[in-house]
Amino acid sequence: MQDAIDHKAIIDHLSRDKKLKRLMENVGPFKLDIDPLQDSYQALARSILHQQITGKAAQAIMLKALKAFADRDPKRDRTGLGFAHADEVLAVDIDFLRTCGLSRNKALAIKDLAQKQLDGEIPSVEDLQEMDDEKIIEILTRVRGIGAWTVHMLLIFRLGRLDILPYSDYGVRKGYEVTYGKMPSEKELCKLAEKWRPYRSIASWYMWRALEQIKVKY
């Protein structure tokens, strides 16, 4: 978890990359916002909602969905929820989810996630912590609409894994261009990011911050 991270060791290692060092000095200390109360189902639902849209847009959908489900059952406890319970998702149709702002593909993905959650196919956070990255990707990408990017987000922001490279993330690639002057392909980024091991998650975090510095919207 984050409280066990050796920040000095990470900064010392990544600072060997002079351009990244300059970015880190401009941005300041890194911080991975890990929610210790969020279960794996909720973390995956959140990641699905964030696919290909801004964080602000995803949050708006989340709030709209929570209100819609609360209106259906005002007595249901939603403390700490990021999205509706799996059984609630399965109780509504695709059109209901569409009215909450989800695309058809995301609605279908959320439905499949909910079904697999109730069928016991989604490991708990505790079980995921015992697995290696590749095993987690293998299991979770069986859910419709969940690819490597979605699992990468869970690995970084829920499990706190330090050496994850979201190679398909446009923001990471664009941040690399801002920092280094060249927009890499996914394959190129995988090769270029080898110098960041074993802290590719942190370097990726700084690539996202590079975009914020120049206020790029994507």
Q: Which of 157, 176, 191 is the last residue of a domain?
A: 157
Instruction: State CA 167 to chain mean position distance.
Output: 13
Q: Is the pLDDT of residue 179 over 50?
A: yes
| Residue-range definition of the domain harbouring residue 179 | 2-32+163-213
As a dihedral over the C-alpha atoms of residue 95, residue 97, residue 102, residue 104, rounded to 10 degrees, the angle is -40
Answer yes or no: do 201 and 129 share one domain.
no
The residue type found at 100 is: C
The CATH number of the domain holding residue 71 is: 1.10.340.30
**126 and 141 co-located in one domain:** yes
Residue 183 lies in a domain: yes
Please check whether residues 146 and 71 belong to one and the same domain.
yes
CATH of the domain at 172: 1.10.1670.40
Q: Are residues 19 and 56 in the same domain?
A: no
Cα 99 to Cα 89, 104, 144: the distances in Å are: 13, 10, 20
Last residue of a domain, one of 125, 142, 157: 157
Tokens of 166: 């979201």
Is the domain of 199 the same as that of 176? yes
Q: Are residues 113 and 28 in the same domain?
A: no
- At 130-140, the pLDDT tens digits run 999 999 999 99
Q: Count other C-beta atoms under 10 Å from residue 7's C-beta.
A: 12
Is 138 contained in some domain?
yes
- Residue 215 pLDDT: 62
What is the secondary structure of 174-201 as a DSSP string?
A: HHHHHHHS----HHHHHHHGGGGTT-HH
CA distances from 110 to 114, 116, 190, 192 (A): 6, 10, 29, 34
| Helix, coil or strand: residue 104 | helix
Same domain, 141 and 55: yes
Instruction: Taking residues 12-30, report their average pLDDT.
Output: 96
In a domain, 194, yes or no: yes
66-120 per-position pLDDT tens digit: 899 999 988 888 776 778 999 999 999 999 999 999 999 999 999 999 999 999 9
- Number of neighbouring beta carbons within 10 Å of residue 87: 11
DSSP state for residue 37 in the 8-state scheme: T
Based on the domain organization, do 57 and 77 belong to the same domain?
yes
- Kindly state whether residues 138 and 186 are assigned to the same domain: no
Domain assignment present for residue 85? The answer is yes
135/167 same-domain check: no
Gyration radius from the chain CA atoms? 18
DSSP state of 130: T
9, burial (CB in 10 Å: exposed 0-12, middle 13-18, buried 19+): exposed
How many independent structural domains does the chain possess? 2
User: What is the Cα–Cα distance from 154 to 203, expressed in whole angstroms?
Assistant: 17
Q: Are residues 47 and 26 part of one domain?
A: no
pLDDT band at residue 36 using 50, 70 and 90 as cut-offs = confident
Size (the chain), residues? 218
In this predicted structure, what is the pLDDT of residue 33? 81
Q: Which of 119, 142, 157 is the last residue of a domain?
A: 157
**pLDDT in the model for residue 217:** 46
Instruction: Confirm whether 168 is domain-assigned.
Output: yes
Residue 98 in domain: yes
Average pLDDT, the chain: 91
Tell which residue, 203, 128, 135, has the closest CA to residue 164: 203
Percent over 90 (pLDDT), the chain: 74
Cβ contact 140:151 at 8 Å: yes
> Is residue 200 in a domain?
yes
In terms of domains, do 152 and 171 share one?
Answer: no
- Residue 218 domain-assigned (yes or no): no
